[in-house]
Amino acid sequence: MIAGVCGGIAEYFVLDPTLVRIGYCLLSLCSAGFPGLLLYILMCFIMPKKDS
């Protein structure tokens, strides 16, 4: 919920944001945390901003 990355992915794929967040947390924990954190930071800069 920091930068809206998981919410944006859920919106793009028409999924529940909670499920995407849980899946992302599980994936990050299974990969020792660091790769998941690095990927999240990269996605913060790569993903386009939502038009208001």
pLDDT tens sequence across 7-46: 888 998 999 999 999 998 888 888 887 888 888 888 888 8
pLDDT value of residue 52:
61
Q: Distance (Å, rounded) from C-alpha 8 to C-alpha 20?
A: 10
Residue 6: count of CB within 10 angstroms of its CB: 22
What's the start-to-end Cα distance of the chain, in Å? 18
Q: Which two tokens stand for residue 1?
A: 């919920």
Asked whether the predicted pLDDT for residue 5 surpasses 80, the reply is yes
| Cα separations in angstroms, 7 against 32, 42 | 23, 15
Q: Distance (Å, rounded) from C-alpha 14 to C-alpha 30?
A: 25
Better pLDDT: 52 or 33? 33
pTM comes to 0.73
